[in-house]
Amino acid sequence: MTNTNQNKAGWHLRQSYLSLPETFYSKQELQSVEDPQIVYVNEDLAKELGLEIEQLYKEGLPYFSGNKAFKGIQPLAQAYAGHQFGQFTMLGDGRAVLLGEHVIEGEKTVDVQLKGSGRTVFSRGGDGRAALGPMIRELIMSEAMYGLGIPTTRSLAVVTTGEPVYRENVLEGAILTRIASSHIRVGTFQYAAAKGIKKELQALADYTIARHDPQLEHHEQKYVAWLKEVVRKQVQLIAKWQLVGFIHGVMNTDNMAINGETIDYGPCAMMDSYNPATVFSSIDRQGRYSYSNQPYMAAWNLARLAEAMLPLLAENEEEALNQAQSIISTFGSLYEAEYLQGMGKKLGLFTLEEGDKELIQGLLTLMETFEADYTNTFRSLTFKTLEEGKLFQADQFKSWYEIWQKRLMRQEQNEEMIKQLMLENNPAIIARNHIVEGVIEAAVDRGQMQPLLELLQVLKKPYSSTSIPAKYAKAPGKDFDGYQTFCGT
């Protein structure tokens, strides 16, 4: 393990991942780029990391571009596997390198990774590079999720490389500096299990527990307890996704971070009009990762993790299988409780009672029937601005509204307290797909960065009750129907 204070900007990097067996990574030399330029530095995040902003601008570019290595640090490409749309594949970082863990205030650590930094041994024929558009998308979406209070990786910087990347067209190359609690995935454990060496699987599990759940290190059944904790974190994460209408797009097991953070913003998007079958990803032709399927796919992915962990759950194979099944079987009830509690808050309910599930589902059914905007419907209910839209004029809605009002009156809390609860759980602003596309187009095609900066500023306080520019809250018109997103690789 290497500990070092790297430079005046305040980096404190170490490499505990090197303590794992070498099967989990490949040492990687950085690949320099021709003419890097800073597009964006996330100053808020930099401050949270304890970095000096002025020095970061002065000396950060060579590090953000991969043109300069941190002294004493060996970049790594991490190995992992994954079920990609249900098909198992051995994988790894094909266009990213892990620089190490930055230590914040002497104890907390976060991974620092360069994404789009060039070929690795896991590139499988790809160029290992990234285009500017997808890197800006990840910047926007990850910061939007952070603003919404959803666990996520974050984007510290985006730089252009001065070199083209070749996809269907020639595009401008870019590198994103990503910050995560770690980049350990469900697929990392699948990779260890596929190798069939229990000692290596145990080393990975022990490392992960020590890093993320040290309170479990001395638990008499620490692997069982840890698997339960992973399930709990994923339940909370997916419920938060569903509550704001976020659709990940590629919930493969290699895109599921073990510590319950949203990771790998490829063909992700936010739902506009409510439709449980919504799919945005151009490659998800069967709807495997549709909005309504996300909880089921999270449980499916966790079942793959439990399979990988079987050798550690118990000495007896049957007992291990029973343990795994017992833990995974809790996902459904845990998720429903978490989701319903969150939906209750969106409707101003401080506690749930019998009939609330039907009340919630009744509204969602009406929203789907009348193609109501998901975000704006809840915001309208918060402020009781129900003049516009087919939904609010429908007799079925008026009947539902009357039942809802009677339900609210049974609570001890007064009207102002109810409104405050709704304000705290119903964002006014999300990263609207048509806005995101417009911002990316302005940046990539015209070199205009001001729309990006304005959007990022607005996304910092999505629950604000103060006035916001109307364009950010406005739902897209019908001309935006059929919107698709692409993975950007």
Determine, yes or no, domain membership for 263: no
Each residue of 127-142: pLDDT tens digit?
999 999 999 999 999 9
The yes-or-no verdict on residue 294 having pLDDT over 60 is yes
Query: Cα Rg for the chain, rounded, in angstroms?
Result: 23
Task: Report yes or no on 379 lying in a domain.
Answer: yes
3-state secondary structure 145-204: HHHCCCCECEEEEEEEEEEEEECCCEEEEEEEEEEECCCCEHHHHHHHHHHCCHHHHHHH
Per the domain annotation, does 447 fall within a domain? no
At 10-32, the pLDDT tens digits run 999 999 999 999 999 999 999 99
* Residue 387 in domain: yes
**Site of tokens 């032709």:** 285
At 5, is the pLDDT very low, low, confident or very high (cuts 50, 70, 90)? very low
Last residue of a domain, one of 180, 207, 235: 180
Greatest C-alpha distance within the chain? 69
Which listed residue (93, 111, 254, 284) is catalytic?
254
Q: Which of 180, 212, 244 is the last residue of a domain?
A: 180
Q: Mark whether 284 is an active-site residue.
A: no
Q: What does pLDDT average to over the chain? A: 94
Instruction: Give the number of domains in the chain.
Output: 2
* pTM confidence score: 0.96
Q: State how far the alpha carbon of 62 is from the alpha carbons of 72, 103, 136, 192, in Å.
A: 16, 21, 19, 34
Share of the chain above pLDDT 90, in %: 89
Range of the domain at 11: 3-180
Name the 3-class secondary structure at 247: strand
User: Would you say 289 and 249 are in contact if contact means Cβ atoms under 8 Å apart?
Assistant: yes
**Residues 88-98, mean pLDDT to the nearest whole number:** 96
DSSP class of residue 93 equals -
Whether the pLDDT of residue 360 is over 60: the answer is: yes
pLDDT in tens, 382-391: 999 998 789 9
Distance CA 379, CA 470 (A): 13
∠ Cα 205 209 210 (to 5°): 115
* Residue 138 resides in a domain: yes
Query: With bands split at pLDDT 50, 70 and 90, how would you rate the model's confidence at 6?
Result: low
User: Measuring CA to CA, how many Å separate 303 from each of 71, 224, 264?
Assistant: 41, 13, 21
Pick the more confident residue, 284 or 198. Answer: 198
Is 148 domain-assigned? Answer: yes
The pLDDT of residue 1 is 46
DSSP 474: P
Confidence check: pLDDT of 2 > 50: no
Q: State pLDDT tens for residues 112-166.
A: 999 999 999 999 888 999 999 999 999 999 999 999 999 999 999 999 999 999 9
**Does a structural domain hold residue 9?**
yes
CB burial of 193-211 (b: ≥16 within 10 Å; e: otherwise) equals: bebeeeebbebbbbbbbeb
* Distance of alpha carbon 477 from alpha carbon 480, whole angstroms: 6
Q: Is the pLDDT of residue 3 over 50?
A: no
At residue 480, the pLDDT reads: 76
Neighbours of 87 (CB within 10 A): 8
Which tens digit of pLDDT belongs to each residue from 402-460? 999 999 999 999 999 999 999 999 999 999 999 999 999 999 999 999 999 999 999 99
| DSSP string for 349-418 | -SS--TTHHHHHHHHHHHHHHTT-BHHHHHHHHHHT---SSHHHHSHHHHHHHHHHHHHHHTSSS-HHHH
CA distance 384 to 380: 5
Which residues contact residue 88 at a Cβ distance below 8 angstroms, ignoring those fewer than 6 apart? 81, 82, 190, 194
What pLDDT shows up at residue 231?
A: 98
Residue 68 belongs to a domain: yes
d(CA 363, CA 224): 39
Boundary of a domain, candidates 371, 406, 425: 425
Residues 6+ apart with CB under 8 A from 248: 241, 255, 262, 268, 289, 294
